[in-house]
Every structure is written in C-alpha cells, then in structure tokens.
Amino acid sequence: MTFPSQVLAILWKDIRCELRSKQTWISMGLFALLVLVIFNFAFDLRVDNKAAIAPGALWVAFVFASLLGLGRTIATEQEKGSMDRLMLCPVDRKAIYLAKLLGNMLFIGVVEIVALPIFAVLFNVPLFTGELLPIVLLGTLGIASIGTLFSAIAAATQAREMLLPILVFPLIIPVVIGAVRATGTLMVPSINEPPWLGLMAAFDVIFLSISMLMFEYVIEE
Amino acid sequence: MSAPYLEIKGLKKTYSLKPILRGIDCVLDQGERMVLLGANGAGKTTLLRILACLTKPGAGTVRIGGLDIVREAQHVRHLIGFVGHQPNLYDELTALENLLFFGRMYSVRQVREQAVKLLQQVGLARRAGERVGTLSRGQIQRLSLARALLHSPRLLLLDEPDAGLDDEGIELLEELLREHAERGGTTLFTTHNFERAVKFSDKICMLGGGRVVYQQATSGLEPVGVRQAYQEALR
Amino acid sequence: MALVKRETSVEQGEAKAGTKRQETGFPVVSAILGTLSLIGMMVSIWMIFLYAPTDAIQGEPQRIFYFHVPMAWLGMLGFVVVAIAGIGYLMRKDERWDWAARASAELGAFFITLALITGSIWGKTIWGTWWTWDARLTTTLILWFIYIGYLMLRSYMGRTPASARAGAVLAIIGIIDVPIIYESVNWWRTLHPAAQVGVQGALPSSVVLTLMVSLTTFTLLYSFLMIQLYQLQRAQTLAQQLRASIE
C-alpha cells in the first residue's frame, strides 16, 4: 500500500470510529462556544478597543479547544494502555503521524467553523474574508503538528492533561503571535507589518517535518 | 540442513529496571509448532511481544525467516500473525470493517474476498456487519484469530489463543493451526492447558524466572508427565 | 528429562567479564576544572567590581551585566547540550548520553532561573519595573518554561528508555524552536516598543575583557558542575537498579 493511501486509510478509520463514538467533537464544539461566551463577559468590548482584543480572544479559544482534542485522538488509539493493534501492522510510523495530524486538524477545524461565525456575530467583527483562510490553516497546522507529537509523549504519563499544555504552549508561541497579528492586520490594516504568514509557513514546514521524523521514537516501545 | 525459521540467542529484556528475560536461547524450524509454558510472570508474554516486534529486545539477537527483528522490523511484521491478551480490534468498527482495515495495513491483495473467506472460516459470516463492541468474548477471540491469519503470516504467535473459546471454538482453533502448519507455517503459542499443549505442539519449552528451564520434543510425552516436569522445574 | 542449568551461559559470561565499565579519568579532570573555576571566580569578581569602569548612564547597577550575560549564555548552552545528548541517545541508545542530558537540564534550568532573576533586577534598576517584554528577556522566560517542561516530563516518566527518548525529542524540538521564538518576539516587539534590558553602543575594551573573563569562568564552572551531576545521575541509576533487583 502506498504511503498516502496508508495515511488516508488510518484517517478514515479514525473518522469513522470518532463519528460512531461521538465523544470528542461534540465536546470540543461546545467548549469553543463556551470560551467565546466567557470572553464576551470577561472583556469589555466597546467599539474602539475590540479590534485590539478580538484576534487574541479568538486564537486563545482555538488553542484551548485544540488542547482538548489533541489528547483525545491519541487516547482513543490506546485501548487499555497500548497502541498494539496499530503498531503490529507494517505501516510506516510517519504515516500514522500524518493521519493523526490530519485527524487533529479536522477536529480543530470543526471547532473553527463553529466558532468563527459566532465570533463575528458576538463581537460584531467582519470576518468573512477569503484572506482569513490561510491564516487559520497555517495557524492550526502549526499548533497541530507540535501538538500531535507531544500528545503521544504525554499520553504515556499519568498527568497527561496537565503536561500537554505545559509542553506545547511555549513551543507554539511563534504561531500564536503570528496568527494573532495576522488576524489583527486583517481587521485593522497597518503598514510595515512583518511577514507573519511567511513566519507561520516556515514554522509549519520545519516542525511538521521534524515531528514526523521524531514520532516513531516516541510511540515505539 | 536449512537455517531455523526462528532463532533466539541470548535474549534479555528489562521492564522498569526489573529483568524479565534473562537470556533466552531457542530455535524453531519451519513448520514446527512450539508451546511455551510457564507460570504467570515467567516472561512468556514479554517474549511473544518481542517476537511480534511490539517491543525491542534489551540484549541478544532474534532472527525470523533470516531477518533481524530490530533492523528489519517492518519486513518482519509482514511475516507475523499475533494474537495477544487484548483482542487488538476496533470496537466501533464492524467485524468486516476491522478485517478490511487491517488487510489494507498489511497490503493484502483482494482484501475483501480474503476477509469474507476468513469470516466464514471462523464462523462469523453472519456477524460481519456487527460492531465488535457488541460481540461476545468467544466471537471476539475468533475475530482476533481471523485478523492474525488475514495476511497469510509465516509465523503465528498466539498468547493463550484458547482463552474465551467454547468447545466449538477450540476445534476451530485446532483446525486453523493444522492448516497453517500444512501450508508450511511455524507456530509458537502459550497455554495453561497441558492437554492442549501436548496435542497441538511438536516441541515444548518451559520458562521459569526469565530463563528456559526445560525444552523437549512432544512426541511420546503425556500431559501428566509434562505437568510433573513443570512443577519440578519451578522448584 | 532435559533440564537446562539454572544460570544461562549469557550470565556466566558476564560474571567473568568483571564489573561494569569504570569511569576513569573523571576525578582528575574534575579537580582541574574545579581549581580553575575557583581561580577564575576570584579573578572575575575582582575584575567585575574593581577593574571594569562604571557605566556613565546606568551607574554601578550595570555590573549585573557581567553576571547576567554568562548565566543567560549557560542557560542556552545547557539546553544545546541537552539536545545534543538527546541526539546521541537516540542514535546510540547508550544511557550515558541520557545521564549527560539530565545533568545539563538541571544545570541549565538553574542558570536560566538566575539569568531571569538578574535580568529582572537589572531592568528594575534601569526602568523601574520588574519586568519588560524585551525580546531577550521574554525568550529567556520561554526557555525557562521549556526547561521546566523537560524536568517535569522526565520526572513523571521516570528512568526508562521511553522517558529518555521523550526527553530527547522535546530537547531537539525545543532547541530548533528557540531562535524562531526569539525572532517572532522581536518582530512583535517592534510594534510594542518597550523598555529594553541591555547595554547599548560600542563597548570599551576593559568591559569586553571583563565580560570575556566572566564568561570563561562561568563556562568552566558549568563544566565542573556537569561532571558532578553526571556522576550523580549515574549513581542514582545504579541505586535504582540495585533496589529493583532486591525486590
């Protein structure tokens, strides 16, 4: 079986299992909504300063929702503490990583699709521009590429819910800065803005490759 | 004299600083069936997991079909069919979907036909469209066997394959093992039942405290004698 | 009945080969490094407080610079060593690489904490606030978080090969990320110009000399402490193995 078809086979299997068990994506969608509602009360968004806070609020909501989902996709593979059923197969471990990565991005994507329109409504912010898509894509890819690798690491420990954010947050800071600034520039254009999309793209390429290579060291016993 | 199909030399393994295997030497020729006996904790499951490439040896070498299991793990995985304590199936998928998925992972050709054929062989043809989570223990064990046989492995590694099976299931297991051996396949299995140990195997290997304490051809042995040797070796 | 002897041939061979590898040479190197560090410290302190000129703008508090820079340098160096030791472990699977990684992680975390504290104090004397989102200080803080994450991870996972591999992966990702983090914070800072902790302009040669001496001394100290902590890691591993074999 070719590498891409291995990735798709695992991804499709994950999607089917997830749809039938209904555990992860419903809670993630609800979580994103809750965060946005809380932000509405936490931040006093008068017309003049909302542009400063809205991008940050949006991306914090995405990051927290991602962390929730990241733990789940690896956890569902671990039936009673081991990934034996997948590890027995002669499937390239890099393909497993990519399949898990795409699965994570799909779940986070569901959250984003739910959250963005609500966000636009709650904060009265025009977000339906085509330029938002690359920002959201690159940002999500950055968070997910690091997050997928570290969810496999944290899954082996008892305190995985606590450890995963501690490990992932510092490492994804360039992506968060870039995504927030790029989103902010969309809402309020400014000159002499550094090439945030370029930074995010470089980050994604580098860490996707490295995480893919390192993944097998982390899941093999 | 051709090289043995399975060759284990000086195999050691430590888990959490506790030595589980302390130097195992063992060979199996192609087509042979060996039963692994020993008390719980003697290292049988660990040995099988290492052979199934689920975990790496701590020290020593293992060759399966001439391939080193550490350096050529991905090739070795194609040759192995493993049934462990866990069913290694996906609860949310149906029996057929499980086999199709694993068939694809092993690049099995004409995977749908193979899967349907195996489901019939293990008596689960009518349950093909049911989720594994709804199947009984015995049915899950049979499906696990089907999964292990799907890609026509050369070496079967079975950790207590008779667990959870009723009499009909045991007969089915015996038939599958016989067919596998007739096709030239090699088998290594564990069991707690001495009658089956003698009946299904050509060689007996007993583990105690992480070492091989007894190795003998099965022909001419009685279950009672084996039980005695087992108890003596453990003293 | 073909009962095989209790002790396998493998174990007999090992018993004859004698006890495990000795680490020779360390006591000598350690003594040399220790002595050099001590001398270096005395020289450095003299130079920092008496030889180096007083800064025209910042006054006496500027002398923190001679401590802060080497500590930040060691914090970075420490993490680079953890990453290199991690790569070594992944390639060689020899647990001695992991001992070096853990030793350097502990040392580096210690020095980077001091770097943060000295940087914060320095900022207070210049700008009156305990913290500024200056690019270097911020990156130091983020590196501190990565160190803490590393130490927590190793602590949770114990002394297993899986733990060593996980640590190696974290260190490798971390060390590649740090320059990117620095750049992104730098870019972000140009939009939020804030107080900067540092020394501006061309530096007179006496300042450069003092800084170099201080850097060298601290690096010697780091090497000396590395050997001690490495030995400690080795002792801890052996102790755990002994305890496990008794149970």
Q: What is the mean pLDDT of residues A15-30?
A: 76
Indicate the average pLDDT of chain B: 90
B82–A92 C-beta distance less than 8 A? no
- What lies within 8 Å, CB to CB, of C239 at 6+ separation is none
Complete DSSP assignment for A88-118: TS---HHHHHHHHHHHHHHHHHHHHHHHHHH
- For residue C177, pLDDT over 90 is answered with yes
Q: What is the ipTM of this complex?
A: 0.89
- Give residue-wise pLDDT tens across range A110-130: 878 877 877 777 666 666 667
Distance from C-alpha of C143 to C-alpha of C138, rounded to nearest angstrom: 9
Print the domain residue range for B164: 6-90+152-234
- Nearest partner of A168 among C193, B64, C142, C102, judged by Cα: C142
Backbone angles phi, psi at C130, to 5 degrees: -75, -15
- Give residue-wise pLDDT tens across range A175-212: 999 999 998 888 777 887 889 999 999 999 999 999 99
Give the one of A159, A170, A177 whose C-beta lies nearest to C146's C-beta: A170
Whether residue B140 lies inside any domain: the answer is no
Q: Which residue type sits at A53?
A: I
- Give residue-wise pLDDT tens across range A45-92: 555 666 777 788 888 888 887 887 787 777 777 766 568 889 999 999
pLDDT attached to residue A57: 81
Paired residues of B189 in beta bridges? B35, B158
Distance from C-alpha of A96 to C-alpha of B4, rounded to nearest angstrom: 33
Domain ranges of chain A: 3-219
Chain A residues whose CB is inside 8 A of the B53 CB are: 88
Distance in Å from the first CA to the final CA of chain B = 37
Give the one of C3, C240, C244 whose C-beta lies nearest to B214's C-beta: C3
Order across the sheet with B67-68: list the strands: B18-28, B6-15, B59-64, B67-68
- List residues in chain B touching C: CB distance below 8 A: 10, 12, 16-19, 22-25, 60, 211-216, 229, 232-233
Domains held by chain B: number: 1
Q: What is the mean pLDDT of residues C212-235?
A: 92
- For residue C9, pLDDT over 70 is answered with no
Give the one of C3, C4, C160 whose C-beta lies nearest to B16's C-beta: C160
pLDDT attached to residue C15: 47
Angle subtended at Cα A97 by Cα A92 and Cα A102, rounded to the nearest 5 degrees = 125
Complete DSSP assignment for C132-176: ---HHHHHHHHHHHHHHHHHHHHHHH-SSHHHHHHHHHHHHHHHH
- Nearest partner of A57 among A4, A119, A11, A109, judged by Cα: A119
- Give residue-wise pLDDT tens across range C82-125: 999 999 999 998 999 999 999 999 999 999 999 999 988 888 88
Angle subtended at Cα B36 by Cα B30 and Cα B38, rounded to the nearest 5 degrees = 165
Domain ranges of chain C: 63-196+204-246
CATH label of the domain that carries residue B84: 3.40.50.300
Task: With cut-offs at 50, 70 and 90, classify the pLDDT of residue C20.
Answer: very low
- For residue C203, pLDDT over 80 is answered with no
pLDDT attached to residue C55: 74
pLDDT attached to residue C48: 80
Contact at 8 Å (CB) between C202 and A199?
Answer: no
Q: Which residue type sits at C182?
A: Y
B56–A89 C-beta distance less than 8 A? no
pLDDT attached to residue A107: 83
Distance from C-alpha of C94 to C-alpha of A101, rounded to nearest angstrom: 31
A79–B86 C-beta distance less than 8 A? yes
- Give residue-wise pLDDT tens across range B200-209: 888 999 888 8
Whether residue B100 lies inside any domain: the answer is no
Token pair for C7: 């002790």
Give the Å distances, CA to CA, from B216 to B10, B27, B39, B159, B221.
19, 12, 18, 20, 9
